[in-house]
Amino acid sequence: MDQETAQILFREGATMVCLDVPEGTEFGFDYSSWTAGPLFKGVKMIPPGIHFVYYSARNKQTDEVGPRTGTFINFEQKSVVVRKWNPIAEELTEDGISADDVQRIQDNLKDLDRFLGPYPYEGNGGKLHTNEQWTYNGQLLDIVESFTYLGVIFKYNCKFLETEKKLAEQGQKCLYTMLSRTKYLYLNNETMLALFETYVKSILCYGCEVWGSHKANDIDKVFMKFCKRLLGVKANCNNAMVYIELGCIPLRCVRIIRMIKYWFKILGTTNCILKSCYVNLTIDCKAKRSCSNWAAFIRSELYSIGLGELWEHQEYLVFQKHFSIIKKRIIDVHCQELYAVINNSQKCYIFSHLIDNFCMQSYLLKPIPKKFRRCITKYRLESHSLAVESGRYKNVARNERKCIFCNHNDIEDVFHFVLKCPLYNSLRSRYIKNYYVKKPSVFKLVQLLSSNNTKELCNLGKYLHYATMFRNSLL
């Protein structure tokens, strides 16, 4: 046992005081046992939780060890359990111990300390020793590499890669079914997202309260694929822009919120197994800063959003009051991360000026024919084939990505395409108000792309659609 674990177990651990145990009695705790010496008075630094305590009396005359008797005891944090040896029954019992006795022993625990053996702590988890065997009701238990419980695959190494792969696969299947069944219903984006939330997200996030600390890129990809399909943008379109355009938070954020909710449930649980598991996790994570168990993940998430204080005072948390604070902060922090991505990318320059609130952008909710609406999305999210983008993949320097359809010597970007290039003059005069075309500027482009006027948006969509078609026909 390392120094830090020892110190924490010393503070948080329970103590079992065993009075009058005869010398030579075999005394066991979980999977270690030893023979009681003349001064033996019990065990200290016991990790909270359920432990198996057993003993066998020794016949002094024949030196034979009697049959083993044992019992499960639930040790609460910092508690003191007192038992007394009954020489007739050869058992540890509570008989003849009054509450006053327990109190007296508790008060004088320091004097007893040197007669108490430390709990044989070996840490949790890890691979079993080759000669280790476990039995239940006399039956030898099978030792397996992984175990599926309620649909979540638990591996011996505490990794959830297989769970992730399985859920991603199931979610993908469900998504295809959903898409094929809604194909001819022409549902709007909001309804499609709501359907996804109900049928697919519930599968993708199944059991994430337990495995949510795992990265789960495959699962995030299923959601991202759906979002991009909904918007009609290319697969290589920037993810941050897609999340912001739809006003959706990443699934990772959803998983963390669900874990926090579950954490509150554990804090208030009366289930002694769940509670003692959790207490042991917190002991491990207090002892080692590098600890990576479930509780350590909750701790690091709370610290990363600036609410570490709540972790330190978790015994005073109230679900109704604190959960909403944490949830809001998690969402805010994730949104800030997304905004940071688009603010730091040159590709997202126009886009960063198009959005104000984090919600589904208003043009997506307007009655604009799908093919025109999708054109607007493509040019808002820079998911088009203009030279400024196609040059990126051909390794052409940005200032060399010129428009080849006119002699303006301009970079062929959205601004040039929508408001300047003379190639599309006739389309432009038909669909775009003169205000934008006269003295064009990036400011006016931003105004046009973020317009709230349905007719104007419809016309913009038409312009983009026909101009793209015309451009493609020339290539």
Residues 309-348 that bind Zn ion (CB under 5 A): none
Closest approach, Cβ 243 to Zn ion, in A, equals 32
**With binding defined as CB under 5 A, does residue 259 bind Zn ion?**
no
Closest approach, Cβ 388 to Zn ion, in A, equals 12
Q: Following CA atoms 81, 86, 91, 92 in sequence, which dihedral angle do they give, to the nearest 10 degrees?
A: 0
Closest approach, Cβ 402 to Zn ion, in A, equals 8
Q: Which is nearer to Zn ion, 379 or 405 (CB)?
A: 405
Q: Which is nearer to Zn ion, 269 or 425 (CB)?
A: 425
User: Where does 67-197 have alpha helices with state H?
Assistant: 99-107, 109-112, 161-182, 189-195
Q: Which is nearer to Zn ion, 290 or 409 (CB)?
A: 409
Closest approach, Cβ 406 to Zn ion, in A, equals 3
Element spanning 308, H or E: helix 308-312
Closest approach, Cβ 345 to Zn ion, in A, equals 24
Q: What is the Cα–Cα distance from 357 to 77, expressed in whole angstroms?
A: 47
Report the candidate in 185, 231, 475, 176 with the shortest Cα–Cα distance to residue 351.
Answer: 231
Inter-residue contact 423 to 387 (CB < 8 Å): no
Closest approach, Cβ 416 to Zn ion, in A, equals 6
Q: Which amino acid is at 99?
A: A
Closest approach, Cβ 229 to Zn ion, in A, equals 31
Q: What is the Cα–Cα distance from 58 to 33, expressed in whole angstroms?
A: 14
Classify 18 as helix, strand or coil: strand
Closest approach, Cβ 421 to Zn ion, in A, equals 3
Residues 352-411 that bind Zn ion (CB under 5 A): 403, 405-406
Element spanning 187, H or E: none
Q: CB under 5 A: which stretch of 81-89, 186-194, 373-381, 417-425 binds Zn ion? A: 417-425
Q: Which is nearer to Zn ion, 305 or 421 (CB)?
A: 421
Q: What is the Cα–Cα distance from 385 to 375, expressed in whole angstroms?
A: 12
* Cβ neighbours of residue 246 closer than 8 Å, sequence gap 6 or more: 189, 193, 227, 230, 231, 360, 361, 364
Q: CB under 5 A: which stretch of 28-36, 73-81, 415-423, 466-474 binds Zn ion? A: 415-423
Q: What is the Cα–Cα distance from 268 to 319, expressed in whole angstroms?
A: 9
Return the half-sphere exposure (C-beta side, CA atoms, 13 A cut-off) of residue 469.
10
Give the interface size with Zn ion as a residue count (CB under 5 A): 4
**How many other CB atoms sit within 10 Å of the CB of residue 113?**
12
Q: Which is nearer to Zn ion, 226 or 424 (CB)?
A: 424
Closest approach, Cβ 470 to Zn ion, in A, equals 12
Q: CB under 5 A: which stretch of 65-73, 126-134, 374-382, 418-426 binds Zn ion? A: 418-426
Q: Which is nearer to Zn ion, 302 or 386 (CB)?
A: 386
Q: Which is nearer to Zn ion, 57 or 432 (CB)?
A: 432
* Cβ neighbours of residue 138 closer than 8 Å, sequence gap 6 or more: none
Q: Which is nearer to Zn ion, 299 or 428 (CB)?
A: 428
The residues pairing with 19 across neighbouring beta strands, listed in sequence order, are 84
Closest approach, Cβ 397 to Zn ion, in A, equals 18
Q: Which is nearer to Zn ion, 203 or 421 (CB)?
A: 421
**With binding defined as CB under 5 A, does residue 421 bind Zn ion?**
yes
Q: Which is nearer to Zn ion, 13 or 391 (CB)?
A: 391
The residues pairing with 262 across neighbouring beta strands, listed in sequence order, are none
Report the candidate in 120, 116, 126 with the shortest Cα–Cα distance to residue 32.
Answer: 120
Given the rule CB under 5 A, which residues bind Zn ion? 403, 405-406, 421
